[in-house]
Amino acid sequence: MGRQIRDIFASDELAIVLSHYDLGVIESITEFKRGSRRSPKVGVVSSAGKFMLKRRAADRGGEDRVAYTHAIQRHLWKKGFPLPKLLSPLDSNDTLLALAGSLYEVFEFVAGHPYSGEKGETRAAGSTLRDFHSALADFPEVRSFAGTGYHDAVAVQTGLNAVPKSVSSHDSAAGKEAEVLALTSFLFEAYTSAADKVEQAGFPDWPESVTHSDWHPGNVLYKRGEVLAVIDYDCAKPGKSICDVANGALQFSIVASGLPDSWPDHLDVVRIREFLAGYEEHSPIDEAQSELLPYLMIEALIAEAVLPIAATGTFGRFGGLGFMRMVRRKITWIQQNAGALRVAV
């Protein structure tokens, strides 16, 4: 099984879609090869400025689901939260264009720089997440869509069952079927054990709010150490805010360079401390929830790895087997250092 092919816009499709927006004279169009392969994006430079056009993935819940995420973004914009502004098509008060069975969105291009790993930027990411949750505290449609996050998710457990076959189909795993099975068994046990601890602590009774559900360095843009914009709201949904916190602390503390086999076992505890300190600048995280951050981080790490590996046998450009080895090492480290991570809160 090869790598997934990135979807692209047809030239006539671009012309038709862009004709529905008042962008002035189009000067250039450039394919933007980041994010989901199922959601093609292009950068557009015109006499009116710089913009991004995106076709939403067909498997992300349909028009109602996309309209819900647009309502969230418009609410955030009115609150002054840093994000790219969505544009409305001509003769429309909406920000979503439904055309020929496809869904499109255009937003202003934000030219920030990526996360550098600096302490100040890490703290700013945590603080901005708290601003996100605060800005959406009065969002009127919290329960419009069921939340299906990474915690105790049937999709993750089902994915784990599919992992041995998908990974073993690759030449890189030939003759290593026993190792693949052992890794899958480890991940299944780690995931269900962590989920059980969270459930037993009363997770179902914790308050629900709107969550970003994809808070990672690639979705936060900076300027001079401050957050310039947060992007990609495709996964936004009702959920528990602590799940965003745990995933953010995980994502901003992963040390990665080169192939997964060379990634260190540990997470960057200083970054975890800075991220959480930023989130808690205005009010502390509930103590009972903070105790469970290491277990939610374990769930988040496994969920992120398992779903694409189950579908393709790979994680992006990395082979599934090598990536699973890395995940096991990091989970083992989190399990062994859970107490220190709780102290960092």
The average pLDDT across 72-87 equals 97
Does residue 27 have a pLDDT over 80?
yes
Does residue 161 have a pLDDT over 60?
yes
Does residue 59 have a pLDDT over 70?
no
Tell me what pLDDT residue 60 has.
61
The average pLDDT across 291-305 equals 97
The average pLDDT across 290-295 equals 95
The average pLDDT across 170-174 equals 78
The answer to which of 147-151, 182-186, 215-219, 336-340 has the lowest mean pLDDT is: 147-151
3-class DSSP string for the chain: CCCCCCCCCCHHHHHHHHCCCCCCCEEEEEECCCCCCCCCEEEEEECCEEEEEEECCCCCCHHHHHHHHHHHHHHHHHCCCCCCCECCCCCCCCCCEEECCEEEEEEECCCCECCCCCHHHHHHHHHHHHHHHHHCCCCCCCCCCCCCCCCCCHHHHHHHHHHHHHHHCCHHHCCCHHHHHHHHHHHHHHHHHHHHHHHHCCHHHCCCEEECCCCCHHHEEEECCEEEEECCCCCCEEECHHHHHHHHHHHCCECCCCCHHHCCCCECHHHHHHHHHHHCCCCCCCHHHHCCHHHHHHHHHHHHHHHHHHHHCEECCEEHHHHHHHHHHHHHHHHHCHHHHHHCC
The answer to which of 169-178, 193-202, 218-227, 312-321 has the lowest mean pLDDT is: 169-178
Tell me what pLDDT residue 1 has.
41
Does residue 32 have a pLDDT over 90?
no
Q: What is the pTM assigned to this prediction?
A: 0.93
Ordered structural domains, the chain, with CATH:
11-108 (3.30.200.20), 119-343 (3.90.1200.10)
